[in-house]
Amino acid sequence: MASDTAAALPADDSDIKRMSFEEALDALEKIVSDLERGEVALDVSIRIYERGEKLKNHCERLLSAAEDRVEKIKLSRAGKVTGTEPLDPA
């Protein structure tokens, strides 16, 4: 199984920037699963851990960007839309 994990790793991590949130999360979950099983050689474990950190950071950036786009609709007392405001004002 360890050779499958090593063979599946790209030469670098440039592909991460092009991943959707779901793709990055799936890849991160696979890394966690591989590391938890403990069937991966130490050098491969280090490499996939480092990739996992980059995937986690990418997911956090995508979530933050999505949160910035989510807005709350403001209504007048009569129930008419008057505009929008940030969902969670800072």
pLDDT attached to residue 1: 46
DSSP state of 27: H
d(CA 75, CA 72): 10
Interior/surface letters 53-68, b for 16+ CB within 10 angstroms, e for the rest: eebeebbeebeeeeee
pTM of the model: 0.71
pLDDT attached to residue 79: 81
User: Which structural domain, as residue segments, surrounds residue 53?
Assistant: 2-86
Confidence grade of residue 68 (pLDDT, cut at 50, 70, 90) = confident
What is the number of structural domains in the chain?
1
The answer to whether residue 64 scores a pLDDT higher than 70 is yes
- What confidence tens digit (pLDDT) does each residue in 5-49 have? 666 788 889 999 999 999 999 999 999 999 999 888 999 999 999
pLDDT attached to residue 23: 96
